[in-house]
Amino acid sequence: MLGGGCEVDESVPYDHRVPSLTGVPIQIIASVLAVAAFAATMWLWPRLGGRNWRAWLGRLGAFFGTQIAVLVAMGLVANSYFGFYSTWSDLLGLDGSPGTVVDHQPGGKAVSVTGEQKMYSSQGSAQDRSGTIQKVEIHGERSGLTGTPAYVYLPPQYFQPAYAGTRFPMLLALSGYPGTPEKLISLLQYPASTLNAIEAKQLPPTVLVMMRPTLVGNRDTECMDVPGGPQAETFFTEDLPKAMSASYRVDDRPEARAVIGDSTGGYCAVKFAVRKPDSYRSAIALSGYYEVHNDPTTGDLFGGSAEVKQDNDLLWRLRNKPAPPVSLLLATSNNEENYPATQQMVAAFKEPTKLSTITLESGGHNFHTWTREIPPALTWLGSRLAQPQPAPAG
């Protein structure tokens, strides 16, 4: 499944002396230990039936030891299935270096690399120094859908006299499913990272919109226009840009709009750019995937149509459809499940599409990994997003 002829970030040699966190051997060992702990507890329980303190401690130790063993075994199996943490260092939060962006040419040759990004902090809390976050509802005129809750971060420049009358570029940040936009603020720290990048002049002053991709209850529509169902893609690609430019001083040109997301949000981000380049000219996917399938959380996404399913397969589109004039950044790691598909995307794209990657040495499907990718992703975006422009006269 690996795409050929492409250069990526150099991987770290795997240490076979340490059992892989997602490997079958450690799951077997943990399961055997859990069964053994349960069996030992059943065998020893009659001997621990006394009323003295030793018997009490023995029963407590047997009970909690068995519970912990079972939970560890279940956790390892679940982690292997979902890919939350790929290595022990990822689980313990020891992988802290940011990712490196690699730009590619058609055929996969890496042509330039940007270095590690420094973190900057802002002093003070006044809106003219650090900006403000507003909780909003966004009503879709054409789709009939409402995005709520949504949060809009207005950078400090939005309130400064020097930028009076200026229209700003917009970045849409999407969570995964079933994520919440509040996590984009608290755990992924998008407003803080955006402000840091603006202060470091790595990103133009930008209005940030933070949302979840789910617009209809808890149904995972994968940001699709579902035949006979919710028109989520129309909301994000048509209604939202129109609402933002009407309600805020946001530039309505497609080159002034970008979208970033993790997991499901990453799939949505790339799909918006590839399918609707007049809506977003830049897209960033953190641990994203590139095709979707029906499951219990989605219901029927395709109305029984193989053509609709294929048309939402992003790898198929890069291979078979005319190349859109957009810039894409795909973030993965050498341990992630989406690594082979990302390599295939690199091998498939054609001009005028521009494609870059971030490939971490290790990382899983989790917030810690994504916080390492967001700062370099914003720097990458800074050279592609249109600068703030004076509002048209009248």
| Whether residue 60 is found in the same domain as residue 188 | no
Question: Per-residue DSSP letters for 212-253?
Answer: -S--STT---TT-B-TTS-BHHHIIIIIHHHHHHHHSSB--S
Identify whether 260 is part of a domain.
Answer: yes
Prediction pTM value: 0.75
Give the model's confidence band at 392: pLDDT under 50 very low, under 70 low, under 90 confident, else very high: confident
| pLDDT for 150 beyond 50 | yes
pLDDT of residue 348: 96
| Whether residue 40 is found in the same domain as residue 159 | no
Identify whether 249 is part of a domain.
Answer: yes
Is 193 in a helix, a strand, or coil?
A: helix
- 259-306 pLDDT, tens digit per residue, is 999 999 999 999 999 999 999 999 999 999 999 999 999 999 999 999
| Whether residue 63 is found in the same domain as residue 122 | no
Q: Which residue has the higher pLDDT, 24 or 129?
A: 129
CA 280 to chain centre: 17
CATH number at residue 114: 3.40.50.1820
For the record, the structure tokens of 117 come out as 């990004």
| pLDDT for 3 beyond 60 | no
What distance in Å separates the CA atoms of residue 202 and residue 195, rounded to the nearest whole number?
10
For the record, the structure tokens of 236 come out as 């994000």
pLDDT of residue 381: 98
| Whether residue 123 is found in the same domain as residue 64 | no
Identify whether 124 is part of a domain.
Answer: yes
- 96-127 pLDDT, tens digit per residue, is 566 676 776 675 444 333 333 333 333 444 56
Q: Which residue has the higher pLDDT, 89 or 133?
A: 133
Q: Average pLDDT, stretch 145-166?
A: 93
- Cβ atoms of residues 212 and 181 within 8 Å: yes
- Cβ atoms of residues 101 and 329 within 8 Å: yes
Q: Average pLDDT, stretch 372-388?
A: 96
pLDDT of residue 160: 94
Average pLDDT, the chain: 83
What distance in Å separates the CA atoms of residue 222 and residue 273, rounded to the nearest whole number?
15
| Whether residue 153 is found in the same domain as residue 251 | yes
Identify whether 339 is part of a domain.
Answer: yes
- 74-103 pLDDT, tens digit per residue, is 766 665 554 455 455 545 555 556 667 677
**Cα–Cα distances in Å, from 351 out to 111, 297, 348?**
15, 36, 10
Q: Average pLDDT, stretch 36-48?
A: 73
- The span from the first CA to the last CA of the chain, in angstroms, equals 55
Question: Per-residue DSSP letters for 315-362?
Answer: HHHHHHSPPPS-EEEEEEETTSTTHHHHHHHHHH--TT-EEEEEEESS
Q: 326 lies in which domain range?
A: 101-390
Place of tokens 């002829």: 5
Is 77 in a helix, a strand, or coil?
A: helix
Q: Which residue has the higher pLDDT, 121 or 38?
A: 38
Number of domains in the chain: 2
| Whether residue 204 is found in the same domain as residue 73 | no
Q: Average pLDDT, stretch 65-71?
A: 78
- 341-369 pLDDT, tens digit per residue, is 999 999 999 999 999 999 998 888 888 89
**Of the candidate ranges 22-26, 142-146, 252-256, the one whose mean pLDDT is the lowest:** 22-26
Q: Average pLDDT, stretch 196-213?
A: 97
| Whether residue 139 is found in the same domain as residue 78 | no
pLDDT of residue 97: 61
The residue among 52, 82, 112 that closes a domain is 82
| Whether residue 296 is found in the same domain as residue 366 | yes
Number of continuous H segments (helices) and E segments (strands) in the chain: 13, 12
Identify whether 122 is part of a domain.
Answer: yes
pLDDT of residue 78: 64
CA angle in degrees (0–180, nearest 5) for 158-160-161: 120
| pLDDT for 28 beyond 60 | yes
Q: Average pLDDT, stretch 33-61?
A: 73
| pLDDT for 2 beyond 80 | no
Which amino acid, 62?
A
Is 79 in a helix, a strand, or coil?
A: helix
Q: Average pLDDT, stretch 307-316?
A: 97
Identify whether 15 is part of a domain.
Answer: no
CA 8 to chain centre: 20
| Whether residue 38 is found in the same domain as residue 166 | no
| Whether residue 29 is found in the same domain as residue 124 | no
| Whether residue 256 is found in the same domain as residue 315 | yes
For the record, the structure tokens of 237 come out as 């690609």
Place of tokens 């007049």: 278
What distance in Å separates the CA atoms of residue 127 and residue 386, rounded to the nearest whole number?
23
Under DSSP, the state recorded for 153 is: E
Backbone angles phi, psi at 110, to 5 degrees: -75, 130
**Which H or E element spans position 31?**
helix 24-44
What distance in Å separates the CA atoms of residue 315 and residue 270, rounded to the nearest whole number?
11
pLDDT of residue 185: 93
pLDDT of residue 63: 75
pLDDT of residue 207: 97
pLDDT of residue 157: 96
Identify whether 384 is part of a domain.
Answer: yes
Give the model's confidence band at 128: pLDDT under 50 very low, under 70 low, under 90 confident, else very high: low
Q: Which residue has the higher pLDDT, 388 or 4?
A: 388
pLDDT of residue 116: 33
* 173 closest CA partner among 240, 83, 126, 102: 240
| Whether residue 177 is found in the same domain as residue 273 | yes
In the chain, what percentage of residues exceed pLDDT 70?
A: 77
Identify whether 43 is part of a domain.
Answer: yes
- 227-251 pLDDT, tens digit per residue, is 999 999 999 999 999 999 999 999 9
